[in-house]
Structure 1
Amino acid sequence: MTPLALTPPAQEPVSLSEARLFLRLDQTAEDDLLGTLITAARLMVEAASGRLLVDQTWRIVIDRWPESGEIRLPLSPVGAITAARVYDVLGVAQPVAAEALQLDRAADPPVVRVVAEVPEIGRSRGAIEIDVVAGFGATAVAVPVLLRQAVLRLAGRWFERRGDVVGRDAEALPPEIMALIAPFRRARL
């Protein structure tokens, strides 16, 4: 199973104005840097938590339909399946009927169940593509406050300590950031 990012979030979970207020910045001269740090912090928080924050479109590529009829998605939370297709023996994409796949949003990780007839696959690799929208919602308001705080504090940390800790933070996030993320991390057995 391969997840491919198709479209990034339309907005970040923390705005430039929120970050400037947090950092007590009156000027906008460093907005480009701050915006980059916010994006980088979001990506780090998403990786550490195993959750996508603001809605973004992803494609899940699999080789064949599972015998169990259940596909456990590597992304969380997932709000909707937007499209699905199967490549036939000629390499032509055949659409999968919307009613053939059922998304269980409550499962963690989310599960797609095959509940009706689906087209036969025609190639051995990457035969099935399922497009999904993953994230807590379309706007920053939908993102849990603790995760927004983690992004804000991490971006602020990097802004204030420019270059001093980014390398170490990439290896292991600071404990105060991990404490904010901890309630959202998926348990690994």
Structure 2
Amino acid sequence: MLLVEETAPAQAALPVAGLRNHLRMGSGFELVEDATEDAALAGFLRAAIATVEARTGKVLLTRVFRLRLEDWRDPMGQPLPLAPALSVETVELTDRAGAVTAVAPERWRLVPDNQRPVLVPVVGSLPVVPVGGHVTVRFTAGFGTGWDDVPADLAQAVMMLAARYYEDRGFDGSQLALPHGVSALIDRWRAVRTLTGRGSFGRRA
């Protein structure tokens, strides 16, 4: 399994002003409100969003992903690795020689779910994946395009984690456990992963 993020969260959707206010209240820092500082804060927010999404399997800000599979996990229904899934854009089969065949949208549909969305066949089973080939599913997932669409507890977790990254520039979220407060906020959103194989959450095309 290979999961690729095709689009990044829009800069305008990031709560840069909210993080600036959070830092002032939490630490008393006086920040210089210029483009350089805003770019740095946006970077901390992107890192925090990526961490929260990776830990929960939930996409905070809506964007497009591409999922490549060597075969269906179950031809009667393929779980998608991210939620909430809003739509499936395309399903394509690629054979051993690299020839691509689009699967007609009439043959599949998305069963939305906040924990485990599934791509299912309309009739019968999902199309057979060519031997030596793969199937590619492009889908859109996320709570919304604006920060106000993000559930309050996840939004607060991102704010706390971004502030942690800012205040301790040496903190490496990939190596250390999440702060307890952040873990508590995201705990109810954690989902048991049902997909097998190797993936790359957040890898960008």
- Shared fold per TM-score greater than 0.5: yes
Give the TM-score normalised by the residue count of structure 1.
Answer: 0.85
Listed as ranges, the gaps of 5+ residues in structure 2 are 25-29, 195-205
- Which one of the candidate residues 116, 119, 132 is aligned to 1:112? 119
| CA gap 1:14/1:153 in 2 versus in 1, 3 angstroms | farther
Offset of residue 93 of structure 1: 1.3
Equivalent pair of 1:9/1:56 in contact (CA under 8 Å): yes
Q: What secondary structure does 1:171 align onto?
A: coil
Cα deviations by residue, 1:138-160 (Å, 9 ceiling, x for unpaired): 22221101111111111112212
Structure 1 counterpart of 2:18, one-letter code: E
CA distance in 2, matches of 1:35, 1:66: 37
Listed as ranges, the gaps of 5+ residues in structure 1 are none
The number of residue pairs the alignment matches comes to 186
Which runs of structure 2 are paired with 1:25-174 in the superposition (5 Å)?
Answer: 25=30, 27-29=32-34, 30-65=37-72, 68-88=75-95, 90-106=97-113, 108-116=115-123, 121-125=129-133, 127-163=134-170, 166-167=171-172, 170-174=175-179
Give the TM-score normalised by the residue count of structure 2.
Answer: 0.79
Equivalent pair of 2:88/2:140 in contact (CA under 8 Å): yes
CA distance in 2, matches of 1:171, 1:179: 16
Counterpart in 1 of 2:27?
Answer: none
Equivalent pair of 2:95/2:132 in contact (CA under 8 Å): no
The percentage of aligned residue pairs carrying the same residue is: 31
Q: Please tell me the root mean square deviation across aligned C-alpha atoms, in Å.
A: 2.5
State whether structure 2 residue 186 is matched by structure 1 residue 178: no
Offset of residue 173 of structure 1: 0.2
Structure 1 counterpart of 2:177, one-letter code: A
